[in-house]
């Protein structure tokens, strides 16, 4: 209630014959009102202390906060660390009853995490921890790194797979450890989790763990190869020196990699994606070709790399050894000495529109000549009888430095030319021809 004063009279005091009447004045002070509390604000990740307001604050009162450690009173506002408090108001020798308990919860702070895994194909059983064991952005409870024993951890939104059924990173709610299964596709995954204080289950905080899963290490190796224009295999397996995730690249059903042509390959050069073989078809033009292929991690198809290889198609000149005969009286040995020869797998042809050129190689015998325009080899009349070895050079006309030589044997035979004659003799006998070979030549 209110303060009030009373005056009492009629009391006589006697002392050694003297008397006096006493007047007693009593003042009764009203008991302070029990404090009422409002605007309770808990500590946050930014603000270390919580606060509350004494809603029936009276400036004439003194307010006692229990416990008082770390408490600051400024007018009607009380700031204090986490804990349970009561408030008593007092004036003079009078004190109020304690207020109801005021509970200031500790700050619980789930902080965003960024976790990186270099290779999703290999995976990682312990990629990091979203709780207090995270060295870069630990979760906190009242300013102290969170231990799993102090909180309940739940995942509110799991990671979304890149393709249906594909593995994804996850959080172990018993430990806070983030794990990435083997063969997890490369990419960025988000996991939303919540931590709640075990002693105060309504005191919760949420955060997002971002897990960056790296692509597999795909390393194709640049190579060079050669094949003849007649056709052949350049590489038995173009991926034989390549690696995927640090191990040799293997193709096929049980392999760890795939290969394919990248860009447009030249006509006549092809890649067999199932074996890695690169072949050149017969008749492919001579030259150097740069071909690019793509090597991919079979388990993470989006993890690929390309490399360019140089393939040299060489000219192939194949002259064929032959033998020929001509009489010493002169004649043609070969109408076309290159008729059985080939250049780059196709028949050799001479002349302006031909693909080849032919010429004498070394010194040819007197009387035996080669016509480079037609390939005709002739023997002049009077050439000595005998067998002659003559060498000619066949060249790829488009690649003049690509040539080959071959030696042919030419037999010059004796020319025997008997002349038909007529004669008569009597029935009594006589000489018809004195020398029947008189008109013949050799």
379: CATH: 2.60.40.10
**Looking at residue 28, what is its pLDDT?**
67
Omega into 121 within 30° of 0, i.e. cis? no
Total domains in the chain come to 4
Q: Is residue 431 part of a domain?
A: no
Alpha carbons 303 and 220: distance in angstroms, whole number: 12
**Apex CA 47: angle with CA 41 and CA 48, to 5°?**
95
User: Which of 314, 330, 347 is a domain's end point?
Assistant: 314
Give CA separation, 76 vs 51, 55, 58, 229, 268, in Å.
10, 7, 8, 98, 91
Q: Residues of the chain whose pLDDT is less than 70?
A: 1-17, 20-28, 301-302, 415-417, 437, 440-442
Would you state the pLDDT for residue 263? 95
Q: If residue 25 lies in a helix (H) or strand (E), which one and from where to where?
A: strand 18-28
The whole-number pLDDT of residue 24 equals 63
Q: Give me the pLDDT at residue 338, please.
A: 96
In a domain? residue 420 = no
User: b or e along 359-375 (b: 16 or more beta carbons within 10 Å of the residue's beta carbon)?
Assistant: eebeebeebbbbeeeeb
What is the C-alpha radius of gyration for the chain, rounded to an integer number of angstroms? 56
Give the Å distances, CA to CA, from 234 to 31, 291, 306, 333: 106, 12, 18, 41
Residue 303: inside a domain? yes
Of 314, 335, 356, the position where a domain reaches its end is: 314
Domain, as residue range, for 328: 317-413
Domain boundary residue among 167, 198, 213?
A: 213
């Amino acid at each position: 209630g209110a303060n009030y004063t009373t005056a009492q009279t009629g009391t006589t005091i006697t002392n050694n014959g003297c008397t006096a009447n006493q007047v007693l004045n009593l003042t009764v002070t009203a008991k302070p009102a029990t404090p009422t509390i409002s605007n309770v604000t808990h500590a946050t990740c930014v603000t270390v202390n919580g606060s509350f307001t004494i809603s029936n604050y009276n400036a004439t009162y003194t307010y006692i906060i229990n416990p008082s450690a770390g408490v600051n009173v400024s007018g009607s506002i009380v700031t204090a660390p986490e804990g349970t408090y009561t408030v008593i108001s007092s004036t003079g020798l009078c004190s109020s009853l304690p207020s109801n308990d005021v509970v200031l919860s500790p700050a619980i702070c789930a902080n965003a995490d960024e976790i990186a895994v270099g290779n999703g194909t290999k995976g990682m059983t312990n990629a990091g921890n979203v709780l207090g064991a995270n060295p870069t952005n630990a979760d906190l409870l009242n300013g102290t790194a969170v231990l799993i024993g102090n909180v309940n951890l739940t995942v509110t939104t799991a990671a979304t797979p890149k393709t249906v059924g594909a593995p994804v990173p996850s959080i172990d709610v018993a430990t806070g450890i983030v794990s990435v299964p083997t063969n997890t596709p490369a990419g960025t995954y988000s996991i939303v989790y919540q931590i709640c204080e075990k002693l105060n289950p309504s005191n919760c905080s949420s955060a997002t763990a971002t897990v960056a899963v790296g692509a597999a290490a795909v390393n194709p190796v640049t190579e060079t190869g050669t094949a003849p224009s007649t056709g052949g295999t350049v590489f038995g397996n173009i991926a034989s020196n390549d690696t995927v995730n640090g191990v040799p690249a293997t193709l096929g059903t049980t392999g760890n990699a795939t290969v394919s042509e990248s860009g447009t390959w030249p006509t006549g050069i092809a890649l067999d994606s199932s074996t890695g073989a690169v072949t050149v078809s017969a008749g492919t033009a001579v030259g150097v070709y740069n071909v690019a292929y793509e090597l991919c991690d079979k388990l993470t198809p989006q993890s690929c790399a390309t490399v360019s290889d140089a393939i040299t198609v060489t000219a192939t000149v194949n002259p064929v050894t032959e033998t020929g005969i001509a009489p010493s009286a002169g004649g043609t040995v070969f109408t076309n000495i290159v008729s059985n020869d080939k250049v780059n797998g196709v028949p050799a042809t001479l002349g302006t529109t031909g693909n080849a050129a032919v010429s004498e190689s070394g010194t040819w015998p007197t009387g035996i000549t080669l016509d480079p325009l037609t390939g005709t080899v002739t023997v002049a009349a009077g050439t000595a009888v005998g067998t002659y070895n003559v060498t000619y050079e066949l060249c790829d006309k488009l690649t003049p430095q690509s040539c080959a030589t071959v030696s042919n044997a030419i037999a010059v035979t004796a020319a025997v030319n008997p002349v038909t004659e007529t004669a008569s003799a009597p029935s009594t006998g006589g000489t018809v021809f004195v020398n029947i070979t008189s008109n013949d030549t050799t």
